[in-house]
């Protein structure tokens, strides 16, 4: 029932105290919000916490959503705010960060996605699609993706290895990620 | 990094996206980029899209290419000991290792040998018996030596001529012995008789048991080259 609804309809239903509708929003955007947080925080545990905090903040501010922007943009904005708050907190109170983590043991953590049985099949299917998408990239773009993601080379090292300018390396990687995004968006929402 | 104002697209920050995503943006540019994300919805959406693509590749690498963890094997040991009967426990007292048993046997052997040595088992008794052996041999020997340097070989009674005494065959005394006397002329008949008598003397070995130190008493009756030369010289004569 909820899968056929748009994000705006789900938000409207959530405002009217339909918790299942907000659950559908979380299920639909959980992975992308987590990827955004991971891109900003570079740590999975921090990214998972930030994603959880993002959805909590969104649920609390449902009534403030005016519909002027897309729901995805609204969630992205909340996620970026949450990540920056986490980074600033970590930067200013780096020594107290671990103590704070230990004091928050009473918080309820969600099980990692790879441990949920229903997600294992989706994950395997997604990996096959990602592999095919990377393989279908042009050779110059695929080359940069492999060297950056699998060989852990810096942009400067890739530039020296391929004998191309540094900006070319960055633009190639950006183009490769965009093409991957286009290939993965053709997948069903729950898989992509 | 030059930040451009908000547009519908990504404000031309494609390079900054990937640089920020992989942590290669300088600190100042990173803070400016984050501030820009708060203000630019298009860049936020674009960055989220790129971050999602990057995480897909990262997840693929992590699950398919990261090394496997070393498995930990826990062997469930049975700590409950089986009950042992009194006979098994008694046998366990004597159940010593093979090395200890060998060492014990060797120690006992050394102790026995030392005890025998102290009591004179090998020092006087056995050695005294060894000393007695030559005495027994001496008793069996005749009181007088069989033959001396001046003694002559007893001629066979059948032979008409006395046998010329042969020199001693003792190698130790060979240097001191004078050369065999050279006979000037011997008739063939006499020479044949001498050979026969010599052979008979060889057959009739001395009755006494030879000793290691009785070389002075032994008569060498073997044929010598000097005798043959003497015989040849006599034939020439």
Choose among B37, B59, B57: nearest CA to B46: B37
Check if the beta carbon of residue A54 is closer than 8 Å to that of residue A82. Answer: yes
Interface test with B, best of A65, A124, A173 (most B CBs within 10 A): A173
Closest partner CB to A38 (pick from B15, B22, B51): B51
Q: Do B50 and A181 touch (CB under 8 A)?
A: yes
- Asked if the C-beta of B63 comes within 8 angstroms of chain A's C-beta atoms, the answer is yes
pLDDT at B170 over 70: no
pLDDT, tens digit, for every residue of B211-236?
555 555 556 666 677 776 776 666 55
Q: Do B53 and A134 touch (CB under 8 A)?
A: no
Q: Given the structure tokens 């947080």, which residue do they identify?
A: A37
- d(Cα B121, Cα B50) in Å, to the nearest integer? 103
Q: Do A80 and B45 touch (CB under 8 A)?
A: no
- d(Cα A50, Cα A147) in Å, to the nearest integer? 29
Ordered per-residue pLDDT tens for chain A, 192 residues: 777 788 888 888 888 888 888 899 999 999 999 999 999 998 889 999 999 999 999 999 888 888 788 899 999 999 999 999 998 888 777 655 555 554 444 444 444 555 566 667 777 788 888 888 899 999 999 999 999 988 889 999 999 999 999 999 999 999 999 999 988 877 654 444
- Asked if the C-beta of B50 comes within 8 angstroms of chain A's C-beta atoms, the answer is yes
Helix axes B41-64, A71-92, angle to 10 degrees: 70
pLDDT at B152 over 80: no
Q: Do A77 and B63 touch (CB under 8 A)?
A: no
Closest partner CB to A167 (pick from B15, B44, B64): B15
Q: Given the structure tokens 């997948």, which residue do they identify?
A: A187
CA distance B57 to chain A (A): 7
- d(Cα B108, Cα B157) in Å, to the nearest integer? 68
Largest CA distance in chain B: 158
- d(Cα A165, Cα A163) in Å, to the nearest integer? 7
Q: Which helix (H) or strand (E) holds A184?
A: helix A166-184
The residues near A19 (Cβ < 8 Å, ≥ 6 apart) are none
| B85-89, B110-114, B120-124, B220-224: the lowest-pLDDT one | B120-124
């Amino acid at each position: 029932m909820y899968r056929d609804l748009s994000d705006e309809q789900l938000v409207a239903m959530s405002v009217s105290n339909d918790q299942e509708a907000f659950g559908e929003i979380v299920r639909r955007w959980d992975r992308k919000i987590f990827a955004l947080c991971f891109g900003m925080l570079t740590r999975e545990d921090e990214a998972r916490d930030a994603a959880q905090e993002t959805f909590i903040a969104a649920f609390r501010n449902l009534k403030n959503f005016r519909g002027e922007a897309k729901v995805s943009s609204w969630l992205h904005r909340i996620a970026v705010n949450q990540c920056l708050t986490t980074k600033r907190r970590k930067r200013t109170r780096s020594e107290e960060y671990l103590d704070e983590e230990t004091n928050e043991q009473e918080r309820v953590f969600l099980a990692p996605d790879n441990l949920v049985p229903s997600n294992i099949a989706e994950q395997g299917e997604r990996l096959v699609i990602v592999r095919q998408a990377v393989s279908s990239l042009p050779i110059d773009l695929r080359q940069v993706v492999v060297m950056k993601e699998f060989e852990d080379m810096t942009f400067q090292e890739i530039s020296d290895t391929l004998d191309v300018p540094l900006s070319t390396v960055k633009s190639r990687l950006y183009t490769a990620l965009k093409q991957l995004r286009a290939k993965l968006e053709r997948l069903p929402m729950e898989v992509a | 990094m030059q930040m451009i104002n908000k547009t519908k697209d990504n404000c031309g920050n494609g390079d900054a996206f990937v640089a920020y995503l992989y942590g290669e943006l300088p600190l100042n540019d990173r803070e400016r980029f984050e501030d820009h994300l708060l203000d630019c919805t298009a860049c936020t959406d674009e960055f989220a899209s790129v971050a999602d693509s990057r995480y897909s590749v990262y997840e693929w690498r992590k699950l398919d290419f990261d090394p496997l963890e070393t498995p930990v094997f826990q062997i469930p040991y049975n700590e409950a000991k089986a009950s042992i009967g009194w006979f098994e426990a008694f046998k366990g007292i004597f159940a010593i290792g093979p090395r200890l048993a060998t060492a014990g046997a060797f120690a006992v052997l050394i102790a026995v040998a030392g005890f025998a040595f102290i009591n004179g088992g090998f020092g006087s008794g056995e050695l005294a018996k060894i000393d007695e052996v030559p005495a027994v041999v001496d008793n069996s020997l005749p009181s007088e030596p069989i033959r001396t340097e001046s003694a002559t070989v007893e001629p066979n009674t059948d032979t008409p001529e006395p046998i010329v005494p042969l020199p001693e065959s003792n190698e130790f005394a060979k240097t001191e012995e004078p050369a065999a006397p050279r006979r000037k002329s011997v008739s063939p008949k006499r020479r044949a008789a001498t050979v026969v008598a010599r052979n008979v003397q060889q057959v009739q070995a001395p009755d006494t048991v030879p000793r290691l130190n009785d070389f002075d008493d032994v008569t060498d009756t073997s044929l010598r080259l000097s005798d043959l030369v003497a015989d040849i010289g006599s034939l020439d004569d």
